[in-house]
Chain A
Amino acid sequence: MLANEIKITPELVAEHGLKPDEYERILKLIGREPSITELGIFSAMWNEHCSYKSSKVHLKTLPVTGKIVIQGPGENAGVIDIGDGQACVFKMESHNHPSYIEPYQGAATGVGGILRDVFTMGARPIATLNALRFGSPDHPKTRHLVSGVVAGIGGYGNSFGVPTVAGSVGFHSRYDGNILVNAMAVGIADTDKIFYAKATGVGLPVVYLGSKTGRDGIHGATMASAEFGEGAEEKRPTVQVGDPFSEKLLLEACLEIMAKGCVVAIQDMGAAGLTCSAVEMGAKGDLGITLDLEKVPVREEAMTAYEMMLSESQERMLMVLKPGKEAEAESIFKKWGLDFAIVGYTTDTLRFLIRHNGEEMANLPIKELGDQAPEYNRPFTGPKKLPVLDASTVPAPKSLADALEKLVASPDLCSKRWVWEQYDHLILNNTVQRPGGDAAVVRVQDGPKALALSTDVTPRYCEADPFEGGKQAVAECWRNLTAVGATPLAITDNLNFGNPERPEIMGQFVGCIRGIKEACLALNFPVVSGNVSLYNETHGRAILPTPTIGGVGLLADFQNSASIAFKSSGEAILLLGDTRGWLGQSAYLSTIAGKEEGAPPPVDLAAEKRAGDLVRDLIAKGRVTAVHDCSDGGLLVTIAEMAMAGGIGATLELSPGGIPPHAYWFGEDQARYVVTAPALALPEIEAAAKAAGISATRLGLTGGEQLTLPAERPISVAELKKRHESWLPDYMAGKS
């Protein structure tokens, strides 16, 4: 019988983030009062972050299968087949709450955690990406948060030795008290050498690997499952401290031990540390696990069972080894200077038994810990449909040139060079397309195969219409991968929302999921991994709904990839796709008119598919010289970005008929691409577009050093680029 030195009071239950009815469920499940260690274990397993209790019922509706899917959601990361016996392993995960409290370490350990998820499966990481959302630039904490988060991401990835190749950075006052740090890692493994968490075999050693356990991060996952109120900073001790050096050693040691055939099952210690990893390995394999905590390597004295079970110290792994492989595994870990300890064994009892110096501290049914977690189908209300904004009611700018100059230097659309120059994006020598384009292109080993990678979401669309916004996030990711010439394969989703106990927030969540589902089905783009981050609220004010989509695409030969830069003068600029001049929720509307109104642009998924397939085909055949998808800021911003990237101007001749010029040039209609091509190739491209049912519009010619629009003052590309490049460095230096 368990000694219960601490009385479990309702206050203690509440402090563990468990609701009274959830505690009742625990009592019913185990038939007695839990020990304090057991209460801690339940709080770790049953919080939102680990149990997905509010989201599971909806996540189940997402398409997760496909010809290329080797492993869908539910493992450390998703796995897809990229041919030639190779698999791509990838996942995205949030570290939002910790990054607000302690930006450097919060972001750093976010990167560390997601890298571990990928190499736990036997894959060597080849790239990381991220998606960051900060509060308004005017908010007093924003500079500090940007500076800390960017340094933290760089600090971890640069030292670990993986290139950070792409990402997105946005600002909005709705993230003032809750920033978003979503990190994605991508790795490569052989398809027949993927490792899983599921343990098999009774009486096998359970091995602890990596760094020592300390008191850092206790209750991190519980903290991440609650709203912020006053005194969020006091939660700083729940943020873990990252050690990329140890993680690099852990990577090398794990891959070596795997290659030697020592490993039956492996699970990284992420959220809820030892608890989550041990339960996962046992429950998935229908086995019990017994742990003797005095064998756990610790770096602080007098740690209790409770603290060890809930510590979120970083850079740790749990493994089940093949019998007789202990000595070989230990020698590899010792070589890398890492801790190695046999801390327990697998059993056939289906119990999760924790002993400390011979004393029983917890004895729980292992399957029920995971399976019997509460599951909620929370009430939700659909948001009110917003009216479609009539473009003629949106004031025109004094001049299109002024508006363009303002847009390319706006916080959301300005160059993010200041950010990505702090990330080593070149290490490993495989970065074919660097940050700043539509998608990163990373060569796989010696090529010619390459992966295209991108993270996308437009939160203001999701706020205005969760369903269309969810569709658009997936479609834009698919489009970005297409724009470099890749065949989009699969996605990971990182769903960031407010408090799911509020029906309107749950409505945003459900709407976005429905939109994601519809787009994934239409574009044959399954979800293979993901993460849900709820309770992103401060004082009852939620973030914009932000379902970040991280996509992976495949290029058979990286030399056939396309990029956004204008390549030479005298080439035709062609728009593929329809323009209606959709200004609702556009960057123009918010930046120039100072309003966020109307319905967001709808996504016609059939048109999206046709346009994308056409563009990919044109790239593969070498018919186009530059390609850029048309998104935030609309057509003119797209062209300006191509001009700035190539250092070549353009003369635009089209005077749109029927649509107000500012709506034509800045509207954010979806499913569009701008391409350039030599004049000779035009008839063929136009014929192909016609056959695909996609409209092709000649916009003008590349050349010169200016962007020239009919009846507008010419805009110097160099001057435009200066504005585009200087907003962020100036802002960070306190100049704007």
Chain B
Amino acid sequence: MQAAVVLFPGSNREGDVASAIKRISGKAANIVWHGDSDLPSGTDLVVLPGGFSYGDYLRCGAIAARAPIMNAIRAHAERGGLVLGICNGFQILCEAQLLPGVLQRNAQLRFMCKEVYLRVERSDTPFTRRYNAGDVLKIPVAHGEGNYTADKETIERLEGEGRVLFRYVSPEGATDPKWNHNGATNAIAGILSEKLNVLGLMPHPENHVDPLIGPTDGRGLFESIKTVLEAA
């Protein structure tokens, strides 16, 4: 497993995700500069980390989506390579049209940093192999603009094709507007690309991997990727 974590101006969770990858895969990720035009050779996972690329002063992710490195990432995705966008990374993937839809301001109009509950909708993907469908994970969020939405056809298509991978739910795993903290359409927390190789999600699994600091429900995501890539 050779990960590349892309550093944009204003990224700030690159260290968190790089350390989670190192902790779980045993191998350090390459930190890749946004201005580069190629990924390091041997890259089999690209991570777009959380943060506020370009200050989020335009639409979140809009400027980063046009960075030189994005062409290489698009080609990597087209080849079926794995791409993981977390938080700002998810916003960038949407702006780059590697994933459909947009992330609006949270319904309550405030930035929210808290633990939420996510239901794993399917386990037959490269990102969730080590979970079971229906598992409820406790994972933190930290965003002001994570309210996912798209036009009706797109939502229907995502749902119909099983591309909603994570949903905000109650601790018992039930969908409930009370637990959909940012007001996302269908309580969507994370979605997949058509080929299931690109995942964008708002919550931060990388912040829940260290048993000495807190819960470890985020480990499964990185373990799944590792399992898939090492079997390849």
On A, residues with C-beta under 8 Å from B are: 151, 154-155, 158-161, 243-246, 248-249, 336-337, 420-432, 443, 447, 558-559
A-binding segment of B8-16, B94-102, B119-127, B222-230: B8-16
28 contacts between A and B (CB under 8 A): A155-B111, A158-B142, A159-B12, A159-B56, A161-B12, A243-B55, A246-B55, A248-B9, A248-B10, A248-B52, A249-B9, A337-B9, A420-B113, A421-B114, A423-B111, A423-B113, A424-B111, A425-B113, A426-B140, A426-B207, A427-B12, A427-B16, A429-B16, A429-B206, A429-B207, A432-B212, A432-B213, A559-B212
The answer for the CA separation of A424 and B56 in the assembled complex, in Å, is 16
The answer for the CA separation of A420 and B111 in the assembled complex, in Å, is 10
The answer for the CA separation of A301 and B43 in the assembled complex, in Å, is 48
On B, residues with C-beta under 8 Å from A are: 9-10, 12-13, 15-16, 19-20, 50-52, 54-57, 110-114, 140, 142, 144, 204, 206-207, 210, 212-213
- List B contacts of A244 (CB < 8 A): 52, 55
In the complex formed, the residue of B with least CB distance to A155 is B111
Contact of B113 among A161, A246, A421 (CB under 8 A): A421
- List A contacts of B207 (CB < 8 A): 426-427, 429
In the complex formed, the residue of B with least CB distance to A431 is B213
* Interface pair A429/B19, CB less than 8 Å apart: yes
Known: A158-B142, A161-B12, A248-B12. 14 other contacts (CB 8 A): A155-B111, A161-B52, A243-B55, A245-B9, A248-B10, A421-B114, A423-B113, A424-B113, A427-B12, A427-B16, A427-B207, A429-B206, A443-B212, A443-B213
Known interface pairs A248-B10, A424-B142. Does A161 touch B51 (Cβ–Cβ under 8 Å)?
yes
* Shortest beta-carbon distance from A129 to chain B in Å: 15
The answer for the CA separation of A244 and B144 in the assembled complex, in Å, is 15
Contact of A158 among B9, B20, B52 (CB under 8 A): B52
- List A contacts of B110 (CB < 8 A): 151, 422
* Interface pair A558/B212, CB less than 8 Å apart: yes
Known interface pairs A245-B9, A431-B213. Does A426 touch B55 (Cβ–Cβ under 8 Å)?
no
* Shortest beta-carbon distance from B25 to chain A in Å: 16
* Interface pair B204/A426, CB less than 8 Å apart: yes
The answer for the CA separation of A425 and B214 in the assembled complex, in Å, is 13
* Interface pair A430/B12, CB less than 8 Å apart: no
* Interface pair A429/B213, CB less than 8 Å apart: yes
Contact of B213 among A151, A161, A420, A430 (CB under 8 A): A430
The answer for the CA separation of A322 and B111 in the assembled complex, in Å, is 43
- List A contacts of B12 (CB < 8 A): 159-161, 248, 427
Q: What are the 4 closest A-B residue pairs judged by CB atoms, nearest first?
A: A161-B12, A245-B55, A159-B52, A424-B142
* Shortest beta-carbon distance from B144 to chain A in Å: 8
- List B contacts of A154 (CB < 8 A): 111
Q: Which of B9, B140, B206, B210 has most chain A Cβ within 10 Å?
A: B9
- List B contacts of A423 (CB < 8 A): 111, 113
Known interface pairs A336-B9, A425-B113, A426-B142. Does A245 touch B54 (Cβ–Cβ under 8 Å)?
yes
* Interface pair B15/A428, CB less than 8 Å apart: yes
* Interface pair B210/A429, CB less than 8 Å apart: yes
The answer for the CA separation of A430 and B19 in the assembled complex, in Å, is 12
The answer for the CA separation of A432 and B212 in the assembled complex, in Å, is 8
In the complex formed, the residue of A with least CB distance to B55 is A245
* Shortest beta-carbon distance from A432 to chain B in Å: 6
In the complex formed, the residue of A with least CB distance to B11 is A161
* Interface pair A422/B10, CB less than 8 Å apart: no
The answer for the CA separation of A432 and B207 in the assembled complex, in Å, is 12
* Shortest beta-carbon distance from B49 to chain A in Å: 10
* Shortest beta-carbon distance from B22 to chain A in Å: 11
- List A contacts of B20 (CB < 8 A): 429
The answer for the CA separation of A231 and B225 in the assembled complex, in Å, is 60
- List A contacts of B213 (CB < 8 A): 429-432, 443
Known interface pairs A245-B54, A424-B113. Does A161 touch B9 (Cβ–Cβ under 8 Å)?
no
Known interface pairs A159-B52, A245-B57, A422-B110. Does A428 touch B16 (Cβ–Cβ under 8 Å)?
yes
The answer for the CA separation of A426 and B13 in the assembled complex, in Å, is 10
In the complex formed, the residue of B with least CB distance to A447 is B212
* Interface pair A151/B111, CB less than 8 Å apart: yes
In the complex formed, the residue of B with least CB distance to A429 is B16
In the complex formed, the residue of B with least CB distance to A164 is B113
The answer for the CA separation of A151 and B140 in the assembled complex, in Å, is 19
- List A contacts of B13 (CB < 8 A): 161, 427
* Interface pair A427/B212, CB less than 8 Å apart: no
- List B contacts of A558 (CB < 8 A): 212
- List B contacts of A246 (CB < 8 A): 55
